[in-house]
Structure 1
Amino acid sequence: MIETNDTLPVKEILTAAGPFIKAVVDTYVTPKLENLKKRFTLDYNKYHVPTEEHFSEYFYRTYKRVSIINTLVFNNSQRFIKDIYSPLTLIQKTEEKEIKHKIQSFPSELLNKYEKLLITDNAGMGKSTLVKKIFLDTIDEKKGIPLLIELRRLSKEKTIIAEIQEQLNSLAKDFNNSLLLELLTEGGFVIFLDGYDEIPLSDREIVTADLQSFISKATNNTFILTSRPENALKGFGDFQEVKIEPLKKKEAFELLRKYDKQGPVSTLLIKKLEETDMANISEFLTNPLLVSLLFTAFQHKQTIPFKKHIFYRQVYDANFESHDLTKGDSYTHDKYTKLEIDDFHRVLRHIGYSCLKDNQRIEFNKDEILALIRKAKIFCVDLNFNESDFLKDLLSTVPLFTQDGNYFRWAHKSLQEYFAAQFIYLDSKGQQSKILLQLYNNPSLDKFINILDLYYDIDTKTFRSTILFELLQLYKNYYNSTFQDKRYTITQEIISLRKEVCFLIEPFLFTMPNREGRIDHKELDEMIFKLGKNKRISGSLDSPNSDRQLCCLVCSDVKESMCNMLSSKLPNLFHQVPKINREKLVLNISHSLSNLYEPYMLNDKLEDQFNSNKNFDQVTNLIKTSKRRSSNIATNEALKLLEEIEEQINNEKSEDFLLDGI
């Protein structure tokens, strides 16, 4: 393992990595190439065969790139990922329990058991950082041949094989990509597929099909796929899903200390945090990105911001007004554009919103990023600056973008989302409600949750009268339209709980072989595909037949992600679902579902045996075990809040609303 410190130059890091890279090439690459060459016909000349040099050059180049951490905390200074990485923990949920895997080195045990790993979590939880760390560990510990693919680079025109070939090709020694595929099918590679959620929506279907085809052909390799939660991930059902455990307070403080090597900023910040009401700040201390933003914001202003958008504004201010400490506190970098802080912010807002409209793209070539800046300049008619100068500022004096070869990208996707949310609020000229509802009703709502999360704090009033109003209306209509049969003899409280549990989901049952038997994933996937909806396996129940088990799946509406977001902001509107011991659930049914993998949709009919007095509670509990969301809307609170918002909207529609009292 290579040890690093802040004073060690990048050149020395690569020198130290040399023996490890050579060992990976000698151990894994050379034998595979020799085997491959033996199978060639004479039609292939030596310049079309991948070589050890291709891989060595790629390993050196990528090792250097991923070793250096890009974070807003350090502005333009270089810091190594190994110096500031605080071990993250992956949580694997099974039917019985949660299994935790702390990632301090290459996760051999986890990847030996699950050769296909899907890491999903929300913005800023450290997915890409974790991928870079494991990439370095793969080389340092000689665990295989690592390939890091940033999925945002793939498109309708660019396949994953083309991207791998581009990464491995040196300028003068191109090779045939069919030979590369031959090499990959032999196995021994650790392939990192980072940022599925960053694939442009317009290319998503074709890129997904290409990825699935590639994975099916290269089954002898290990795959690690990362993404924010996306319904489209159902296409990777054979991947074992894990999440990143939120940081504990102790871990957050440890991370803060690493940012300035236990210096005065982290010492004072931690002291203030310990004196602060942690209920107001606890969410931010669980997320590595927000911990870093907290450090940056506090370093600039020595105050603790309590809302995300204030975080981002202080981070922006800190980067715009950054002082060069080598020249004294009074020295501030001149801006190439000569723009003032608020004017620069206005241009960035337009760029952020343009990225939102362009399928949430965050990476561009030079012509594309200059075109975005030019478009923003036209929008900001009173500002005069040169597009190239603005790009220089974005890369150096206000470093909110990074450059990777010919590509330019936001330092973090959440920055783009912050500026897009600010544009909707400040620059959309009365179109805020229409834009919010368009995002809320988009089939890909998952992609916009972080923007809407930020917008809620920026403009709660408009959010309430648009998105929250529609969601509560939807709940009211749903609540009043199901389980209305007057012949039910169970209590309204029990019926109401079933309604709350089933909001925004459609549960169904089916049978499959019991735990001791082998689950036929192909049969399962075909069943889900035929239903044509986004579903996932999430709970099961033993049936009276010893060779089968009765399972429950839920079909989740995309709007369920909105409930997840709101549950932390409006705790009174939701109540937690208590954990259910699945082993104690017993259904009183006359027969189990006869055919394996034959879905049976649950309904509200009194005649259905699953709605009998004996089974009603148990079925509700079974559905609870199958839900991703751990909280339900509280009916009384929901209806009360809906009335308040309706009154607010009616008052604002009054002709005299803005004139009263003048």
Structure 2
Amino acid sequence: MNLSIGLALINTFKEPIFRKTKELSEEYAFIYKNGLVNYINNYYDKFSHIKTFIYRDQRVPFYDVYFPVSIQSNQKRITDIQELIDGQRFVAITGNAGSGKSMLTKHIFISNAQGCKSVPILVELRQLNNSDNTIEDLINSVITDNKISPSNKITNQILSEGNFIFILDGYDEIFSNNKQKTTAEIENFVDRYSNNKFLITSRPGAGIESFQRFNNYNISPLDDTEISDFINLQFDKHENKEIANKIISEIGKTSNKHYKHYLSSPLLLSMFIFTFNNYPELPKQQSRFYWNVFETLCTRHDSFSKTGGWQHERRSGLKNEELEKILFWLSYITLFEGKYSFDYQSLSYAIKKIIDKFNINADIDNIIYDLNISLSILIIDGIVYTFPHKSIQEYFAASLIKSLDDNQKQNVYTEKFKKLLLLSNGGNTNFYKICMELDKIYFLKYFLLPEIKSRFRLDIEGDFDKMNYVFEFLNLKLGFVKFNKRYSLKSVTYNSADIVSVVRDGMTFLNIFKTIDEIITGNIDFEYYLNNKGEEILNNGIDKEVLIGIEDLKETVVTNVITNHKVIKDFSNIYNEIRDRIKNFENSLVVEQQGTLDLLDI
């Protein structure tokens, strides 16, 4: 452990952090300073060398494998995310499963600690799910090394000086029954300590756009050049660098151009690299990636990082099929409980329930050893076991559901999925997509179509009515930003359920951006309206942002912009596309069911 990192960082900020705390006794000063030093050292050691999906058996230097993703807003790509945070101070980043959010948060932590820029505090928001603690309690336990705070006043003074960067990771992982409370706590915390910098991350669809102070960005998919650069980086220290060229060549084939959207995700690209020796061709479906990974783990799991493709000992004595059954049920049970990390006791308890039900004869400790060491499908993070990524758990759970009989599936898709909707706070889009790939008929029949048709009206005809309904259905907000004395449409944000995100997958508001920007150029009345919409104006030191929603449509000056025939038509087309996709799902269900019946009769 590099003990100098935490000490150097806190010594840099010692005076500004403690300048207002003259009443702090030496004993309490030691608690605060020592707590922060220990915290920074611990997390720096944890993040500076990591295991990845490709390098699972050894910790490698973080920057040997870290690939800097880009983020975007209003079609503008941004590569220097640290500079963005330094300038704007309140940044919200949304990314799909495997897009690189976790690696990005590690990078922000390391770069701030190494460069003595700000004191980084990482808060995994899921820690608040099974606790009565507030976010402030959680942060207070960090800076006092889990000791009781001697004074809330002193803590307030330490945090109010503006020397911290708070990395709030995984907003989508907050349970829905905690969402309102935790969201209010986060907003109150940010307001109280607004001199600091804040980064919050989430999967899409969890409502992260609702945070008033934050500017919203999405992680950009990897483009062709970045895909090649990512592959070369992973093989930079590998003894057989020629594999990188073979992988790049395979991806570059004209016949594979339709599959590249899978590889724009760093996680899925890592999976393809990992499985390349066994499966050198690109699969057509995302779910097949996960199967290839599991099969590779079960057969030649060390083939990437070690020459010769040797296998670890299987201590449990179980066959692949038995380990697969345990994994599938473990994933299914824990996913619907909202968990993908476990301490030893909870993991042992869950596995015991499974092996008892199926009369699997094996020692629990040996099963955990095989899942962790032999297969590396569960990894240890401190004293906690986790899946390499939540999407792995989602794939195993979806595979389990696919294996059930018709009545069991109907029960899962109606009862269990409804509970999942109530329990979770977004972030299930990837799970739903995998379910649709693996089990399309039953997923559409019992879950997606009933749910989306209960939410979305299919009978609206007029273009103006369609536009109003899109605003209402998606809780749509148009974000206008003033920069260099001119307003432009920066963002279109919406707070919609995961199932709506599945239906809307790939849709864009690009035409609306272009049309509205053309209309508002030189519109003095509209600019005056935005300037005076005080309660909605955000000031982050660079831009002013005003959010326009359905409640503004009654204002004449807004109506004159939004009801322009081009804008109405663009929104009408959004409605039509959503409706057409729902109808296509219905037609697809009919075709799939009839095809199945026809083949069964042969």
Q: Which category describes the TM-score, using the shorter chain as reference length?
A: 0.7 to 0.9
**For 2:322, which of 334, 343, 346 is the aligned residue?**
343
Q: Is the 8 A contact 2:479 2:490 kept in 1?
A: yes
Match of 1:357 in 2: 336
Change (3 A) 1:27 1:579: closer
The residue identity in structure 2 corresponding to 1:584 is E
Q: Distance in 2 between matches of 1:147 and 1:636?
A: 46
Of 159, 181, 184 in structure 2, the residue corresponding to residue 209 of structure 1 is 184
User: Following TM superposition, by how much is the alpha carbon of 1:645 offset from its aligned partner in structure 2, in angstroms?
Assistant: 3.6
Which residue in the other structure is 2:542 paired with?
Answer: none
In the TM superposition, residue 285 of structure 1 has moved relative to its aligned partner by: 1.9
5 Å-filtered alignment, 1:403-552, equals 403-427=380-404, 430-437=407-414, 439=417, 442=421, 446-467=426-447, 469-470=449-450, 478-480=457-459, 482-483=460-461, 495=462, 505-506=471-472, 535=475, 537-539=477-479
1:3-18 superposed matches below 5 A: 14=2, 18=4
Could you say if the C-alpha distance between residues 437 and 114 of structure 1 is closer, same or farther in structure 2, counting changes exceeding 3 Å? farther
Shift of residue 138, structure 1, vs aligned partner: 0.5
Higher helix proportion (structure 1 or 2):
2
Q: Secondary structure at the match of 1:304?
A: coil
Q: Kindly state the Cα deviation for residue 77 of structure 1 after the two structures are TM-superposed.
A: 1.7
| CA RMSD, 1 decimal | 4.2
CA distance in 1, matches of 2:489, 2:101: 35
Partners of 2:272 and 2:575 lie apart in 1 by: 28
* 1:91 to 2:72 alignment: yes
Per the TM alignment, residue 469 of structure 1 is displaced from its structure 2 partner at its CA by 4.2
Q: Partner residue of 1:633? A: 577
TM-aligned CA distance change 1:312 to 1:319, over 3 Å: same
Q: How does 1:228-627 map to 2 (within 5 A)?
A: 228-261=203-236, 263-322=241-300, 329=308, 331-358=310-337, 360-379=338-357, 381-427=358-404, 430-437=407-414, 439=417, 442=421, 446-467=426-447, 469-470=449-450, 478-480=457-459, 482-483=460-461, 495=462, 505-506=471-472, 535=475, 537-539=477-479, 557-558=496-497, 559-565=499-505, 567=506, 580-585=514-519, 615=563, 617-621=565-569, 623=571
Matched AA of 1:67:
S
Q: Distance in 2 between matches of 1:460 and 1:338?
A: 35
Counterpart residue type for residue 457 of structure 1:
E
Q: 1:467 to 1:175 in 2, by over 3 A?
A: closer
Structure 1, unpaired ranges of 5+: 1-10, 484-494, 508-533, 569-573
Shift in CA distance, 473/164, structure 1 to aligned 2, threshold 3 Å: closer
**CA pair 223-309 structure 1, distance change in 2 beyond 3 A:** same
Q: Distance in 2 between matches of 1:240 and 1:637?
A: 31
C-alpha separation between the residues in 2 aligned to 1:327 and 1:102? Answer: 33
Q: Residue by residue, what CA displacement relative to the aligned partner does 1:505-547 show, whole Å, maximum 9, x if unpaired? A: 428xxxxxxxxxxxxxxxxxxxxxxxxxx745325699xxx99
Distance 1:136-1:602 versus aligned 2 partners, 3 A rule: closer
Counterpart AA for 2:601? D
1:365 deviation in Å?
Answer: 2.2
Change in CA separation of 1:46 and 1:404 when aligned onto 2, cut-off 3 Å: same
Partner of 1:184: 159
Q: With CA pairs under 8 Å and 6+ residues apart, which has the higher RCO, 1 or 2?
A: 2
Question: Shift of residue 429 of structure 1?
Answer: 5.6
Maintained 8 Å contact 1:501/1:632: no
Question: Hey, what's the Cα distance between the residues in 1 that align with 2:55 and 2:145?
Answer: 32
Deviation at 1:450, TM superposition (A): 0.8
Amino acid at match of 1:115: R
Contact 1:320–1:398 (8 Å) recurs in 2: yes
Structure 1 residues 637 and 221: alpha-carbon distance in aligned structure 2, compared to 1, 3 A threshold: closer
Contact 1:192 1:225 in 2 (8 A): yes
Percent of aligned pairs with the same amino acid: 21
For 1:348, give the aligned amino acid: L
SS at match of 2:70: strand
Residues 56/31 of structure 1: CA separation in 2 closer, same or farther (3 Å cut): same
> Does the 8 Å CA contact 2:232/2:244 hold for their aligned counterparts?
yes
Query: Structure 1 residues 611, 162: closer, same or farther in 2, change over 3 A?
Result: closer
Aligned to 1:660: 601
Superposition deviation, residue 143 in structure 1: 0.5
- For the pair shown, the structure with the greater C-alpha radius of gyration is 1
Counterpart position of 1:39: 23
Secondary structure at the aligned position of 1:442 is classed as: helix
Mapped to 2, the partners of 1:383 and 1:372 lie a distance apart of 14
